[in-house]
Structure 1
């Protein structure tokens, strides 16, 4: 499936014109990839009204020939990308006011705009925030295809992993199995550091897999994702190890599952992030567990595991059509354990479509 780089660049140029900017220097690598296709670890992109230039180094001289969009010029620099940037800028006409990505530039690099490329050189630099990230919120068909593939890889790997689990294994061993199965299924990398948390440690929303031994009767929480074409999935399921759940475990899992299911069905494009957050939060509060749900209901996913939009109590921005968001309510009780269920949902013009299909009941494993 072809990637619409020309359309992405056109949308960015329209945003630059609206902001009265002659150019944008793109330094965040996910944004570089989104605009050009380049996947290397060192690159700058300069976008003007009628040009797009990728600067990178000699390590990628061959790679760029196969990756970079036809709409983008490439300059391979043997020494400093910044020195080359000033040279290239001098060759471009009618460039006066330029923006840089203020959320992604170090203080050291920002100082270059004053010391080397400031008004003495004829350019006026301005900080800009989220000019490309706003474009990335709505996924096109090529992006959705990769996210769907990342979901399928992750769910396939989970299905392969669960029959191998036994009480007595460590969280680290289980995480290793899951990551191995994702690699076998085609994941380019893990989407983030895999979370496997057992027993009381499942009450830690961002627990790292540890040497903790998994015991019979433990709640066992998985939070993980695969990567396909640079795009990620983000899935959470909670299981019970070695026996049927007790009444408390089943009750809390049922509350979280209901919050997840109702929010996944009701979330809509155009809804404010805070209202989307309330879809899950209000139900959990009505059931008496509001204080035990301390994080947001969800976030966008794509080239990064956390990107726009936000589904949080303080998020006023509306959810864009085409966004892919997580719905991940949870209840966490210190010393007892926690339950989280997370699905990936695309906000189509016809309503939400849940991409994740893995069973949401409290399955017994091991």
Structure 2
């Protein structure tokens, strides 16, 4: 298998969808990192400016002189270099004309309005493919799975190291940066490109998305840490909880035990053919029966891959059917206003006969750290 076979397999899947929709081509753009995910997924290119056009018999990538050598290394596509006088839109128009593209697909969710206005001036019938490529991205191949496993391992090891550095008086933001530093030292690209880590201590832990602040960590407070590593263009997403010394409110240790049970029940429900709401219901029922249902307001989980949030969703509203190759998070939580909250999260692969935990090396237990 060549280094690029996985990319050609993805292109093959896209071309089948193009034929079904009657498209002559599909255009993807990366304008200063806006829309990079689909460009990377199909071409392998990770620069900050590119246009990719895929037709029935050709696959080409246009970029500027900054990225010529990089593109040659990262993509098997034919590379077209913009001249000093050309813009990316000049090259797009030229590619469309050379291949007589009349009906061309694009992913509206990753295209800015300004870019769409420029493209609309071309003599092409544009069709929003409405999530076609994200749907293809759902099914992870072996290379993607191994990359996500590595991202999980890096994040897990970094968390263990960060726990040896934490102390009373350190701020949430300092802990977040400490954790990200360990991720980089272990070979990761850093944290999530477009999201900050959640580090929420004490009463702030009642905020499900309480990104790290300048609040200082205090003795007896519990800390919820939602974090992950970027590696090879893919993400991991984990949540763990610890305290500095004995917890001042023992009820939250009971809540953590409840979340372990809900997490386990939800994970065991993951299987091909189940809907997102099926899996969510199993975990949510555990929390509901314990009397904390009003304090679990978000969905149980989401897809994971090139982006930190992808399809499918695990939520009360999700009718998406799980299938082999999906990677999803399971992250039940309980958040009590003005008191605090906890969440417990791991990443799972949907397999032919059930599921496999990808983040299996990091214990789920609540850590009480010695002072």
TM-score by length of 1: 0.94
Specify which of 307, 312, 322 is matched with residue 319 of structure 1.
322
Q: Is 2:109 aligned against 1:108?
A: no
CA distance in 2, matches of 1:106, 1:363: 44
User: How far has the Cα of 1:279 moved from its partner?
Assistant: 2.2
* Aligned equivalent of 1:61: 68
* Aligned equivalent of 1:76: 81
* Aligned equivalent of 2:353: 350
Specify which of 241, 244, 249 is matched with residue 244 of structure 2.
241
Specify which of 220, 226, 240 is matched with residue 217 of structure 1.
220
- Which digits, 9 at most, give the CA deviation of each residue in 1:55-87, with x for residues without a partner? 111110111111112xx1111113211111111
* Aligned equivalent of 2:253: 250
* Aligned equivalent of 2:164: 163
CA distance in 1, matches of 2:64, 2:284: 48
Structure 1, 274-283 or 253-262: larger mean CA deviation: 274-283
- Report the CA distance shift for 1:245/1:351 in structure 2 as closer, same or farther (over 3 A): farther
CA distance in 2, matches of 1:151, 1:307: 17
* Aligned equivalent of 2:365: 361
Q: Is 2:132 aligned against 1:127?
A: no
SS at match of 2:224: strand
* Aligned equivalent of 1:146: 147
Q: Is 2:311 aligned against 1:308?
A: yes
* Aligned equivalent of 1:33: 40
* Aligned equivalent of 2:339: 336
Runs (4 or more) in structure 1 with deviation over 2 Å come to: 112-115, 244-247
CA distance in 2, matches of 1:179, 1:29: 22
* Aligned equivalent of 1:190: 191
User: How far has the Cα of 1:246 moved from its partner?
Assistant: 4.2
Contact 2:72 2:79 (C-alpha < 8 Å) held by counterparts? no
State the Cα RMSD in Å: 1.4
**Structure 1 unaligned regions, length at least 5:** none
CA distance in 1, matches of 2:95, 2:349: 40
CA distance in 2, matches of 1:84, 1:177: 43
Residue correspondence of structure 1 range 45-56 to structure 2 within 5 A: 45-56=52-63
CA distance in 1, matches of 2:274, 2:225: 29
User: How far has the Cα of 1:313 moved from its partner?
Assistant: 1.5
- Which digits, 9 at most, give the CA deviation of each residue in 1:335-356, with x for residues without a partner? 1110100000111113111112
- Which digits, 9 at most, give the CA deviation of each residue in 1:15-37, with x for residues without a partner? 01111111111122111111111
Contact 1:166 1:242 (C-alpha < 8 Å) held by counterparts? no
Q: Is 2:284 aligned against 1:277?
A: no
- Which digits, 9 at most, give the CA deviation of each residue in 1:147-185, with x for residues without a partner? 010000000011111122222221112112111111111
Q: Is 2:142 aligned against 1:99?
A: no
TM-score by length of 2: 0.93
How many residues align structurally? 358
Contact 2:222 2:247 (C-alpha < 8 Å) held by counterparts? no
User: How far has the Cα of 1:247 moved from its partner?
Assistant: 3.1
Contact 1:276 1:311 (C-alpha < 8 Å) held by counterparts? yes
- Which digits, 9 at most, give the CA deviation of each residue in 1:288-316, with x for residues without a partner? 11111111110111111011111111111
* Aligned equivalent of 2:205: 202
Contact 2:181 2:190 (C-alpha < 8 Å) held by counterparts? no
**Structure 2 unaligned regions, length at least 5:** 30-34
CA distance in 2, matches of 1:89, 1:157: 46
